[in-house]
Amino acid sequence: MENEKIVTTTTETVEVSQEVTPPVVQIPVVRSETVTINSVYEEKETDIKETIHIFIRKKAVLFGVILFVSVVAVISLLSMLQSVVPVTVVADTDSIVRTVSPTETATQISVPSTKETLRFKKEVYKVECGKKITVECQYTAKNGQKNSALPKLTYVSENPNIAVVDQKGNVTGKGYGMTNIKVITDTGIFTTVPLNVTLPKSYKIKYVPYIYQGEKYLSGCESVSTVMLLQYMGFKITVEDFIDHYLPQGEFTFNKKGEMCAVDPYTAFLGSPYDEGSLGCYPNVIKKAVDKYFKEKKKTENYRVVDLTGVSLKHLTQNYIVNNQPVVIWATMFMANPVVTEQWIVEGADKDSPYKDGDTFEWKANEHCMLLVGYDEDYYYLHDPLSDKETAYDKTTFEDRFAKMGRFALVIEKIS
């Protein structure tokens, strides 16, 4: 159709007058008009192509929007899954970067390509403070067989204050809270699992020796409580030996003005633990005495004395009692209210004392030291040197007296 033409013909008649001699001749006149339709079709084709291009562009934009929304949704879903499910490394490439999850901090670690996988059999483990569980792994070898013989594994606790783990996967809860247990193979792959350490509703330390201060150590509750703790930890020491050889002691005197003077109870025991009229001392003094004992016995690299003054009873139960560590603790005799009965001018204050020479110190009567060994929902259980058996004190009352005396507490920790 590109070369077809339409031809139109028009005929006109010319008349010759009769007066002319020559004959009349009628000559047809032909006018030819040619119209090409190529331009018509080309215009139509251009319109169609432009319409198609517009349609394609609109579809491309729509497809791009859909693709972007889909990618964002997938990334969000993966992030949500990573925050819940413990991460397992599968080494399928030359170097895989993995973000540790789900608890405290995220770490990026690269591991070599092995095409092995390692998973814990549970997504979360739970254990009570002071108790043990075993965490188990499922290993997939290079050949894809599950439960293959495990390679050499190394277990690590990310927070040993909350839980410890041995190289057989046995986990012991040490303190209340959350941590992660990580296991690493000798081929370089690893995985982690969250561990939740809970606090039991009641707990009592067993086999703690009991010593009654009776009529022999009339003011010696601090020394008696400390010796009970030392004996529980395996040391062969008596109350007399502790008082006579290790406990710093001070006496009252009078200055030129007639004022009563003495060291403060952060520096030394006021009086003699054998005498009824003596006062007492605070954790600093007991720490100095036990430090001296450990130094003499060459135990300073194995044990340390920790002054926990200011901590709460909740902290003591969560971090020490449930781990079978008795606590030397200060409250009052038979839960009587403390009352200021004596005051004096401080002389010879230790450098670690909150008092300095010349300060006035006020003594709170009814001060008493005991050994905390347990608790339940209603009571704290103590080896009270004034009683001939284990004593239970109401929680609310004991917490109040503990606070009023200054929240004094002390423990002995085994280092190695």
**Per-residue pLDDT averaged across 274-278, rounded?**
94
Lowest pLDDT segment from 175-189, 252-266, 380-394:
175-189
- Give the pTM: 0.66
Selected residue with higher pLDDT from 48 and 197: 197
Lowest pLDDT segment from 110-114, 225-229, 233-237, 327-331:
110-114
Q: How many CB atoms lie within 10 A of CB 361?
A: 19
**Per-residue pLDDT averaged across 171-186, rounded?**
92
CA 141 to chain centre: 32
pLDDT of residue 260: 96
**Per-residue pLDDT averaged across 138-148, rounded?**
70
Q: How confident is the model at residue 29 (pLDDT cuts 50, 70, 90)?
A: very low
**Per-residue pLDDT averaged across 290-311, rounded?**
96
**Per-residue pLDDT averaged across 286-296, rounded?**
97
The percent of residues in the chain predicted with pLDDT above 90, rounded, is 61
With a CB cutoff of 8 Å and minimum separation 6, the contacts of 48 are: none
HEC profile of the chain:
CCCCCECCCCCCCCCCCCCCCCCCCCCCCCCCCCECCHHHHHHHHHHHHHHHHHHHHHHHHHHHHHHHHHHHHHHHHHHHHHHHCCCECECCCCEEEEECCCCCCCCEEEEECCCCEEEECCCCEEEEECCEEECCEEEECCCCCECCCCCCEEEEECCCCCEEECCCCEEEECCCEEEEEEEEECCCCEEEEEEEEECCCCEECCCCCCCCCCCCCCCCHHHHHHHHHHHHCCCCCCHHHHHHHCCCEECCEECCCCCEEECCCCCCEECCCCCCCCCCCCHHHHHHHHHHHHHHCCCCCCEEEEECCCCCHHHHHHHCHHHCCCEEEEEEHHHCCCEEEEEEEECCCCCCCCCCCCCEEEEEECEEEEEEEEECCCEEEEECCCCCCCEEEEHHHHHHHHHHCCCCEEEEEECC
Residue 77 has pLDDT above 60, yes or no: yes
**Per-residue pLDDT averaged across 293-316, rounded?**
95
pLDDT of residue 108: 35
pLDDT of residue 144: 64
Residue 318 has pLDDT above 70, yes or no: yes
pLDDT of residue 102: 41
At 51, phi and psi to the nearest 5? -65, -40
Q: How far apart are CA 187 and CA 223, in angstroms?
A: 55
Q: How far apart are CA 281 and CA 266, in angstroms?
A: 6
Residue 35 has pLDDT above 50, yes or no: no
**Per-residue pLDDT averaged across 148-169, rounded?**
88
Averaged confidence pLDDT in the chain: 81
Residue 90 has pLDDT above 80, yes or no: no
Residue with tokens 């303190």: 175
Lowest pLDDT segment from 44-53, 65-74, 96-105:
96-105
Residue 87 has pLDDT above 50, yes or no: no
Residue 27 has pLDDT above 80, yes or no: no
**Per-residue pLDDT averaged across 209-234, rounded?**
96
**Per-residue pLDDT averaged across 318-337, rounded?**
95
**Per-residue pLDDT averaged across 143-148, rounded?**
61
Residue with tokens 């879903």: 77
With a CB cutoff of 8 Å and minimum separation 6, the contacts of 20 are: none
Selected residue with higher pLDDT from 221 and 73: 221
What pLDDT, in 10s, does the model give residues 354-403?
999 999 999 999 999 999 999 999 999 999 999 988 999 999 999 999 99
